[in-house]
Amino acid sequence: MSTKPSIPKGTRDFSPSEVVKRNYIIDVIQRDFGRFGFQPIETPSFENSETLMGKYGEEGDRLIFKILNSGDYLRKADTDALKAQDSAALTGQISEKALRYDLTVPFARYVVQHQNEITFPFKRYQIQPVWRADRPQKGRFREFYQCDADVVGSRSLWQEVEFVQLYDSVFTHLNLRNTVIKMNNRKLLSGIAEVIGAEDKLIDFTVALDKLDKIGEEKVKTEMREKGISEAAIAKLEPLFHITGTVSEKIKTLRELLATSETGLQGIDEMEFIVETIAELELKSATLEIDVTLARGLNYYTGAIFEVSAPEEVKMGSIGGGGRYDDLTGIFGLKDISGVGISFGLDRIYLVMEELGLFPKTVLEGTRALFVNFGEAEARYAMRAVSALRDEGISVDLYPDPVKMGKQMSYADKRDIPYVVLTGVSEMESGTYTLKNMKSGEQQQVDIDQLVRSLK
RNA sequence: GUGGUUGUAGCUCAGCUGGUUAGAGCGCUGGAUUGUGGUUCCAGAGGUCGCCGGUUCGAACCCGGUCUUCCACCCCA
């Protein structure tokens, strides 16, 4: 006996009903991407290591899946690094390729490489899997899909406004109500760091702040102290911990806090424009909120930062995120191209929709009718009707083998096929078909036209 | 990468402080029923108890390692 087959940790097989539901979500997202003027591209599943390494911070590098070189890679490796068991030094020598970690960096590479064919501003969308060598847990996989839409080549804040609308539109079409789009701004965070005199600790400070709703005010302060942020600086942050009220009240508080920081004030102006414009245009089902503790993807975001939370009743991390990155293409040698984009986490949206029972029943409808196979002559007769029905766009099947009828019936039953068509000698003689409704058990003899009409 | 958790039939799970031949429900196969499924009845097949090693007269059960599951941290969709 061979050993039990298995798949790698954090990966999944998708069975028919799952694929159908995933395709439904992709379909909705894709349609909205198109409506908002985005064009599709695809990039390879693996890139040259140097394209990816160093773009996501130290933590990110660790989570990138490296691909071993072909051939006798150890012979070509540096013997000193090998002997010293220096993994970091050795990795660069035995691995030149890596699986993509997200869609944004490969997109930046694409833009630089194809800059002469691209007309700016360029709006593209991309729906492909990405890989992370992370430990799996709820809603976290090592292979998962991202659905990204980005615009490069425009600094206009109208892009941010449109992305908020795009989120709202997709979640409305998925019937996923009460999502919360949280927005922050890197400039505002820089401003705060500036005001409290901790510019050099921006990342540490924001990472700690990000945990506010999870671990609470005291623990956040403790973490900040551990990272070397002064007591005086933490005292100045006090208003941030208790920022409440309407969006305009929050903006007012922030404006006071950041009065001496030009960058910070600019961040507030940007947020205010987006918030006011959205308020005027109105969202259909989502809510836009300002959240100064939001600090994801800080390694490349420079302006707006977005994150979408699932409806509160579902315990799930974010189902989408994004932001503006002013110089992502700079690292690949193309300066002064501003980009902004958002991502939908397909796998998590799926889990949320499943938990809330939001998939429409029609999505799961498969084969409409099964023709019972009574033998060769009968199958030939049945097959003519099968072809006619398929030409009409109706999904039907002929059971391939002339086995016992009970077996064929139970096959239809298990596959949830709603109708069975019987074509035996008596039907052949009269040129009819016996149509059986599997739910009610009723059956009637019909001609081909009636058959088509009944199954449509 | 750190800490915890899980693994017994295709699936969901029992299995006492270590004791002879490891059980149930569901599913599967055949029959009751050779032109009628979903209900019922009868019979049957299916397990090196995740894997490797150790302790013991004896291990599904105890110990170590490893893989896997799920959860938390780091980080993140």
A10 touches strand B (CB under 7 A): yes
Q: Is the CB of A63 under 7 A from strand B?
A: yes
Residue in this structure with the two tokens 């990039």, named with its chain if needed: A43
With 70 as the cut, is the pLDDT of residue A425 above it?
yes
What pLDDT does residue A104 have?
93
Sheet containing A318-325: give its strands across: A39-40, A122-131, A143-152, A339-345, A318-325, A304-309, A180-185, A287-290
Rounded distance between C-alpha atoms, residue A328 and residue A336, angstroms: 9
Nearest nucleotide (CA of A308 to C1'): B77
pLDDT attached to residue A3: 54
Which stretches of A196-303 are DSSP H helices? 202-210, 212-215, 217-226, 231-236, 238-241, 247-257, 262-281
- Full strand arrangement of the beta sheet holding A369-371: A396-398, A369-371, A419-422, A433-437, A443-446
CA-closest candidate to residue A146, choices A166, A132, A129? A129
Could you give phi then psi for residue A388, rounded to 5 degrees? -60, -45
Range ranked top by mean pLDDT from A89-93, A339-343, A362-366: A339-343
Tell me the residue type at A175. N
Mean pLDDT of A103-123: 95
* DSSP-assigned letter for residue A140: B
Which nucleotide shows the minimum CA-to-C1' distance to residue A140?
B77
pLDDT digits (tens, 9 = 90+) for A66-80: 998 888 887 777 777
A346: tokens are: 């397909």
Query: Letter for the amino acid at A211?
Result: K
- Given a contact cutoff of 8 angstroms between Cβ atoms, the answer to whether A81 and A93 are in contact is yes
Cβ contact A320 with chain B strand, < 7 A: yes
Which secondary-structure segment (H or E) carries A127? strand A122-131
Q: How far is the CA of A133 from the C1' of B55 (A)?
A: 38
How is residue A322 annotated by DSSP? E
Tokens, residue A137: 């847990």
**Mean residue pLDDT across chain A:** 89
What token pair was written down for A113?
A: 């490489």
Distance, CA of A246 to C1' of B58, in Å: 73
Task: Say yes or no to pLDDT of A177 above 50.
Answer: yes
Q: Which A residues 432-451 have CB within 7 Å of strand B?
A: 434, 436, 438-439, 441, 443
Mean per-residue pLDDT for A6-30?
89
Residue A46 has pLDDT above 70, yes or no: yes
Q: Of A345, A398, A410, A348, nearest to A373 (Cα)?
A: A398
More confident residue, A20 or A149: A149
pLDDT band at A196 (very low <50, low <70, confident <90, very high): confident
Q: Give the pLDDT of residue A4.
A: 67
Distance (Å, whole) CA A261 – CA A243: 19
pLDDT band at residue A187 under the 50/70/90 scheme: very high
Report pLDDT for A2: 39
Of A61, A129, A144, A148, the C-alpha closest to A98 is A61
* Mean local confidence (pLDDT), A86-97: 81
Q: Is the pLDDT of residue A269 over 70?
A: yes
A30 or A403: which leads in pLDDT: A30
Q: Is the pLDDT of residue A136 over 80?
A: yes
Cβ atoms of A150 and A107 within 8 Å: the answer is yes
Task: Decide which of A297 and A276 is more confident.
Answer: A276
Euclidean distance between CA atoms A334 and A306, whole angstroms: 25
Q: Which nucleotide is nearest to A438 (CA to C1')?
A: B37
Mean of the pLDDT values across residues A440-444? 90
Closest CA relative to residue A292, chosen from A170, A195, A222: A195
Say yes or no to pLDDT of A268 above 60.
yes
Strand B atom within 7 Å of A141 CB: yes
Q: What pLDDT does residue A298 have?
A: 66
What residue is closest to B34 (Cα–C1')?
A: A404
Q: What is the ipTM of this complex?
A: 0.84
Please give the share of chain A, as a percent, with pLDDT higher than 90.
Answer: 57
Task: Say which range, A128-142, A331-345, A350-364, has the weakest mean pLDDT.
Answer: A350-364
Q: What are the C-alpha distances in Å from A208 to residues A133, A225, A292, A319, A325? A: 24, 10, 12, 21, 22
Q: What is the mean pLDDT of residues A207-224?
A: 84
Burial A318-337 (b: 16+ CB within 10 A, else e): bbbbbbbbbebbeebebeeb
pLDDT of A1 > 80? The answer is no
Flag residues 336-355 of A with CB < 7 Å from strand B.
Answer: 343, 345, 347-348
Neighbouring C-alpha atoms within 13 Å toward the C-beta of A47: 22
Residues in chain A: 456
Q: Can you tell me the mean pLDDT for A336-342? A: 92
pTM above 0.80, yes or no: yes
A138 touches strand B (CB under 7 A): yes
Quote the tokens at residue A23: 């395709």
